[in-house]
Amino acid sequence: MLRVPFDEMKGLFRRILVSRGLEEGEAETLACIVATNSLEGVYSHGTNRFPRLVHDIECGTVDKDAKVEKVIQAGSMECWNGHFGIGPLNAWKAMERATELAHEHGMGLVALGWNNHWLRGSTYGRLAAERGCIGICWSNTKPNMPVWGGTVPKIGNNPLIISVPKADGAHFVFDSAMSQYSYGKLEEYRLKGEMLPFAGGFDDEGRLTSDPAVIEHNGRMLPIGLWKGSGLSIALDLIATVLSGGASVTQIGQMGNERGLTQIMIAIEADRLGGGKDVDRIVSTILGDLKSGEAVRYPGERLERTRKENLEAGIPVDERIWAQIEELGAGC
């Protein structure tokens, strides 16, 4: 396992993206998003995903020249069209706008249709928290999980993110796919040659399995909460498609490549209502009580420690993945 300094990683990503036709500013922002994902320990949506992102740009699945467009405004709500552009950049702009609307109205919502994969959803939850907002956001995906009781993938492992700000920056950030493990996490375990710590899906005979390669191959992922996760996945897809006028999970599946995804960004000004100036005390008290007397973590807490460790020692990178990235950057 290699260790790569953050600035070196981000710089290589930026040069590769510029060489593929991105503007300098956009390449810098996108490189920072991808490198930060790995810096904070989410390698499946950082370095591991970067070669695929470059491939999607090269083959036109992602239109690098497309500009996101606001098509409807209704008070504190807006509807945007991503025009199959660069998913993380469009999603970042959408959450930025949602926080602006929240500071104006108390709550803001941007429904972003016809976008592409946003990489790591907690990126946008943390963005809302950094701006003093409660963040709620989710994305739909291609059909990659069976409805509970079925065997054919028809619903998405649609990630849902909920964030709550803390004054010290150690925000509460809950980020969960509707499947027990995301496909990126399955890939991460497979590349390490490890089994999943808990069952993540079913094998071809319908038995629970912890083998990531089997689940990747047959797509029979285990929903969180069994039938409850299945139902929540459907609900998120319904709401996202209705609000955005974009593509549903079914429609995304019919397009061949996973593109044209729909994302919802909601920001709520945290101190606007009952908590007022006591928001941080309330949040700190609740989270502190969870940890009293037990060695447990709340969602998002480990991130700051991982970030510090990786800044000091370098970001862990699978040697095979890094070789692919260096090849993409040859001559840049």
Active site amino acids: 45
Backbone angles phi, psi at 132, to 5 degrees: 75, 20
Question: What's the CA gap between 12 and 7, in Å, rounded?
Answer: 9
Identify the three-state secondary structure at position 235. helix
Q: Using CB atoms within 10 Å of the CB of residue 192, give its burial: 0 to 12 exposed, 13 to 18 middle, 19+ buried.
A: exposed
Strands 160-164 and 172-176, bridge-based pairing:
antiparallel
The continuous run of DSSP H or E covering 311 comes out as helix 301-313
CA distances from 327 to 11, 51, 124 (A): 15, 10, 30
Is residue 33 a contact partner of residue 119, using CB atoms and an 8 Å limit?
Answer: yes
Tokens describing residue 329: 């950057």
Give the residue carrying structure tokens 């809302």: 128
Tokens describing residue 176: 């969960």
